[in-house]
Structure 1
Amino acid sequence: MAKKKKQQPIFSPSVMLIALFVLLCLALFGIQVPSVVQDLFGVSLAPTTIQKTSSSSPTSGKNPGPIEKGEATFTQNDLKIQKHGWIVYHALDSLGRATSADALLTKEMINSGTTASKDIRPTGFISGLSPYYHSRGHLIGRQLGGSGDKPENLVTLYQNPVNTPYMTKYENMVRQALETGETIRYRVTVRYQEDALLCQELQIEAKSVSQNGTLNFNIVILNEI
């Protein structure tokens, strides 16, 4: 009786190794390997789902942007023209929260302010890093002459989009008017929800007291991402 010849493998070991490597790569990238091919090589491969990681920066969500409230609400007494510019930072409240600041801004005050001191932690401030993204926001901006060394002028804001670009947009408008020689009556009011340490919103008002003035606005910015 003739001996049966020993059946030779379909593929050489080196070809098998290369093919298995290719199949593993396909499964890793979520590509379905046909079951016939899996049976041929004696493997069972399920596609791998690759999940995308979320960005570390905050995304704009609930914040509707600056809300226009019409013209500034200054009284005639508020708008009395004086020869020199000035800034008044109103007292912290009983919880140590910044409340408001008033100013009469002139061209000479541009860029005379200071950056926010890291030694001051406004109420509600935790970190400028994820997931908080807090900033020490000036009520009277540094470029308008506001101090970063007075707790009364610093409030915890979300850096993006509240501090920048929303608040910065209106500060830039005021600065541009000052550069042309206008004098601006300016006020920023902070509002909180009951005893919350993080403010709910800012109200910014500006009105030119110069002849042929260009500014007269009253806007509210919500302090949320």
Structure 2
Amino acid sequence: MAKKNNSQRKHPAAIIIGILVALGLTFAGIQVPDFLQDFLSSSESEVKKTSQGTTSQSGENPGPIEHGEATFTKEELKDNKKGWVHYGEYDEYNRPTTANALIKPEMIGTGSGAKQEIKPPGFISGLDPHNHSRGHLIGRQLGGSGEDPKNLVTLYQNPVNTPFMTKYENMVRKAADNGETIRYRVIPVYEGDIGMPTAVQMEGKSLNSSTINFNVTIENKK
């Protein structure tokens, strides 16, 4: 992971002092020097970027890659009175393959935490330097099981499991809390026979509104 150059950061105290000096010079009728104006301009830009969340992502993970709308077929978007969760069968390397769900409001908060005895393919440790998590495909808050190994894959806890996947899970939960029904799917993407997925694809679509409609890939890297 590339280290940030601390010498290039502007300390908040320095910014405040620069503003006060500029104000003092202005009130005294003295023109603010060019170098101080440049400093304040770049500082203001930096503050805006931080407040808007546009600072660059640390590490190698580019963040969620958006592909537009979800790709569910009409058949896959059929509604039922009750919600459901279905986990796909293992592949030839004993890896989880997919998780589908029709999420109803009553399912929210009914999932379970990841069982510590389960070690998904590729899992080593949650401690540094591995930073692994037993990542739910269908999130716990959406009714996903942490006791069924078909719903657990090895993910980097930060930033993959949190905050990237959590962002979309929270979107779905909010919609369900508002009474909506959401079709949802998460697919782990593998390379060769490696146990740990290289990425996860997440899709969600509201059945009775346009609130939720996403299709994203999140690379499984730090």
| TM above 0.5 | yes
Q: 1:112 aligns with which of 110, 113, 123?
A: 110
Q: Distance in 1 between matches of 2:182 and 2:211?
A: 10
Q: Scaled by the length of structure 2, what TM-score is found?
A: 0.74
Residue 63 (structure 2) pairs with residue 65 (structure 1): yes
Per-residue deviation, residues 84-110 of structure 1 (Å, max 9, x unmatched): 100000011121111110000000000
Q: Distance in 1 between matches of 2:94 and 2:139?
A: 20
Number of the residue aligned with 2:219: 222
Q: 1:164 aligns with which of 152, 162, 165?
A: 162
Q: How many residues align?
A: 166
1:213 Cα shift?
3.5
Q: Distance in 2 between matches of 1:161 and 1:213?
A: 28
Range 189-198 or range 59-68, more displaced: 59-68
Q: Distance in 1 between matches of 2:199 and 2:89?
A: 18
* Identity level (%): 60
- CA contact 1:72–1:216 (8 Å) conserved in 2: yes
Number of the residue aligned with 1:202: 200
Number of the residue aligned with 1:131: 129
- CA contact 1:105–1:185 (8 Å) conserved in 2: yes
Shift >4 Å, 4+ stretches: none
Spell out the pairing of 1:8-157 with structure 2 (5 A cutoff). Answer: 60-157=58-155
1:61 Cα shift?
1.0
- CA contact 1:60–1:161 (8 Å) conserved in 2: no
Q: Distance in 1 between matches of 2:139 and 2:180?
A: 17
Q: Scaled by the length of structure 1, what TM-score is found?
A: 0.73
Q: Distance in 1 between matches of 2:79 and 2:201?
A: 23
Q: Which amino acid aligns with 1:85?
A: G
Per-residue deviation, residues 120-154 of structure 1 (Å, max 9, x unmatched): 00000000011100000000000000000001000
Q: Which amino acid aligns with 1:161?
A: P
Question: Secondary structure at the residue paired with 1:221?
Answer: strand
Number of the residue aligned with 2:53: none
1:60 Cα shift?
3.2
Over aligned residue pairs, what C-alpha RMSD do you find?
A: 1.0
Structure 2 gaps of 5+ residues are: 1-56
Q: Distance in 1 between matches of 2:94 and 2:166?
A: 25
Name the structure where helix makes up a greater proportion of residues: 2
1:82 Cα shift?
1.1
Per-residue deviation, residues 147-193 of structure 1 (Å, max 9, x unmatched): 00001000000000000000000000000000000000000011101
Q: Which amino acid aligns with 1:216?
A: N
Number of the residue aligned with 1:185: 183
Q: Distance in 1 between matches of 2:78 and 2:128?
A: 45
Q: Which amino acid aligns with 1:76?
A: K
Q: Distance in 2 between matches of 1:213 and 1:177?
A: 10
- CA contact 1:101–1:188 (8 Å) conserved in 2: yes
Q: Distance in 1 between matches of 2:210 and 2:108?
A: 18
1:222 Cα shift?
0.1
Structure 1 gaps of 5+ residues are: 1-58
